[in-house]
Amino acid sequence: MLHVNSSRSISDPSDPDAQLTANNGEYLVNISLGTPPFPIVAIADTGSDIIWTQCRNLAGPKRLFDPKSSSSYRTVSCSSNACNSLQSEGSSCSSDGSVCEYQVSYGDQSHTQGDVAAETLTLESKTGNPVALPKTVIGCGHDNAGTFSPKGSGIVGLGGGPGNGVLSTPLISDPSQPTFYFLQLEAVSVGSKKIAFQGSSIGGSGNIIIDSGTTLTLVPTDFFSQLSDAVETQVTGGTKTSDPEGFFSLCYVPDSSLKLPPVTAHFKGADVVLTSDNIFIQVNDKVVCLAFYANDQLSIYGNVAQQNFLIGYDLPKQTLSFKPTDCTNT
């Protein structure tokens, strides 16, 4: 018997631990879908990407998943990131343009097609307490044919996926400060001006930590001065103003004439292009300010700079990944 569990550096009893069972040349995995959880058996497939199950229609067998019986089932719109990410799987739009649809064919001429949905997927764990994974993107198959096992009712795709637009940089550990995730930031470009970054002297070769719990990006005073000057010099339009609270040093009235220079954070092996939402923070309805702050204690890459990125932490491989995304359109 095989097991599939999450890839943490230290095993946690609460990690998902779904059992796989061999069955006539296939491996079957027990999962549950929906709220309340509905148990299904699916084929574990490292050669495809999408998770799908046969969905029950009015005359279908009761062993199939019925989306109408789940309070957490939601179809996915055609304009969503989830639908766009399935382009390699042949995603399309329903005839009325409201629902994303998928179509997948396999090497043995088996096929499935149906609606793309977000649903809660539940796995077993070593403790016996189920682990729920809400808003998992699945396929709800309405037209399925081929050589699928009669014991299974779908496929759990475990392929690598397309990975388009993903940038990765090393995660650097410091035994003296094991809590922090250190990165190596080499420079920041503002337009054509590239400013070298020294950062914190702790963390080995790492010179900045990434922290979702800190709002602003904290950098050494000298670097902040160069960055602030470069941004101010290259901003066009808009009206410079003062922070009403007196905290920020570079602020503007965010009218339509304000044009910001392109800004790129050059991490080791990853040039992360920032948007205006990463560079400036809105302090009230009439003022936006540079979302960086001078601090000579510890350099921190804050959560404003991480907005609209999927951030992946791969602890076994010691890498951190950035994937630009629109988090308002999931």
Strands (E), 124-262: 131-145, 154-157, 167-170, 182-183, 185-190, 193-196, 208-210, 217-219, 239-241, 251-253
Contact 151, 42 (CB under 8 A): no
CB-based contacts of 160: which residues, under 8 Å, 6+ apart? 49
CA distances from 327 to 52, 81, 284, 305, 324 (A): 24, 9, 22, 14, 9
Residue type, 26: E
In terms of DSSP bridges, do strands 263-267 and 270-274 run parallel, antiparallel, or are they unpaired? antiparallel
Q: What span, in angstroms and rounded, lies between the C-alpha atoms of 297 and 224?
A: 13
SS3 assignment, position 42: strand
CB-based contacts of 74: which residues, under 8 Å, 6+ apart? 117, 118, 119
Contact 220, 296 (CB under 8 A): yes
Q: What span, in angstroms and rounded, lies between the C-alpha atoms of 169 and 270?
A: 6
H runs (alpha helix) in 184-293: 221-234, 276-279
Residue type, 174: D
Q: What is the CA radius of gyration of the chain?
A: 24
Question: CA 105 from chain center: how many Å?
Answer: 27
Q: Which residues are designated catalytic?
A: 45, 211
CA neighbor of 225 nearest in space, from 299, 273, 283, 293: 293
Q: What span, in angstroms and rounded, lies between the C-alpha atoms of 74 and 257?
A: 40
